[in-house]
Amino acid sequence: MASSSFMAILTLALLLHMATSIAQLSTNFYSSSCPRVFPAVRTTVQSAIRNEARMGASLLRLHFHDCFVNGCDGSVLLDDTSSFTGEKNAVPNRNSARGFDVVDNIKSAVENVCPGVVSCADILAIAARDSVAILGGPSWNVKLGRRDARTASQAAANNSIPPPTRNLNQLISIFNALGLSTRDLVALSGSHTIGQSRCIQFRPRIYNETNIDSSFAQTRRSNCPRAAGSGDNNLAPLDLQTPTAFDNNYFKNLIQNKGLLHSDQQLFNGGSTDSIVRTYSNSYNTFSSDFVSAIIKMGDIKPLTGSNGEIRKNCRKPN
C-alpha cells in the first residue's frame, strides 16, 4: 500500500515536472525543429529597415504591445472576426501600430523553411531583437516556445497599454503589475531612442507643460498645430538627435527637458527614477545591459506554451 502511494506521488511529481518543463521558454527551442528560423527572420527585417529605417522601431513596438495585453501571444496581429474585436483599432494602436505587412513577410519566409512550426508570437520576439541589433543596439539570445492566441480583445488593449498621459507612479504601477521593476520601466522606455510619435500624442506636452525646453517645444510646435484635429498624424522623432540609432541619447534628452511625450519626461522630473536616467545617460553599456535583461523579462509575460494556443498559419487570423 505504502509502495503504491509512493509510486503515485512519484508519478505526480514527474508529471508536474514535465508540465513545468513544457511551460518554460528556451533559447534553443527551434534548434532541431526549425534551425533556419533566425536567418529567415533577420533577412526580412534587414530588408524592411533598409527600405524604411523607422520600421525597426515599429517592429519593436509590436512586441511591446503584444506582451502588455494578456501576455506575449501574438494577439496584436489578429484582424477582427465575427466572434471578437481585435487590438488593432484599440486607442493605443489605431493609426499608430504598424509593420503588420512586414510580419506577414517574415511569416512567409519562416513558413518556407519550416511550415507550421514557428509561432507569430515568437516571430515578434525575434524581429524585435533583430530590429534593435540592426539599428546599432545590443543583441541577445531570444527565449522561444510561445504559442499563438486564438482570440484578441480590444478592451484589454485599451486598458493594458500605458498611454503617454500617465505619471511616474502610474507607470511604475502598470509595469510592476506585469512583474517588471521600476528599473525595467526606465530601461524599456529607452526604446524611445528610436522611432516617431504622432502630434496627437505630444501636443498637450509641447503647449501646456512647463518642464520642457522652450526651444525644443517651439521646434515641435512648428509641425504640430495647437488645434485638435489639425495635423494629428504629423510625426516627430522621439529622440531628436538620432531617431534611427539605438543609443542612449533618449536619456540625455530627458536631462535637458527634451522628452517628447509626457510619460517620457516623467522619468526625469524630480522623482525616484532620476538617478537611473542619469546612469543611463552617462553609460550606454549600463543601459544596453539593463535593456536586454528587461526585454527578456518582458518576453516571459504569460506566454501560451505546451498544448495551449496554436501555431498560426497566417498571423492575421486563427487557424
Show which residues are catalytic: 65
Look up residue 156 and give its three cell numbers: 484589454
* CB distance 315 to 123 below 8 Å: yes
Residue 148: what are its φ and ψ, rounded to 5°?
-95, 140
Total residue count of the chain as it appears in this document: 319
Q: In terms of Cα–Cα distance, which of 53, 2, 105, 85 is closest to 244?
A: 53
Contacts of 47 (CB under 8 A, 6+ apart): none
> What's the Cα-to-Cα distance from 23 to each of 76, 116, 123, 308, rounded to whole Å?
21, 19, 18, 10
How far is the C-alpha of 108 from the C-alpha of 105, rounded, in Å?
Answer: 5
CA-angle at 270, arms to 266 and 275, nearest 5°: 90
Amino acid at 188: L
How far is the C-alpha of 280 from the C-alpha of 265, rounded, in Å?
Answer: 14
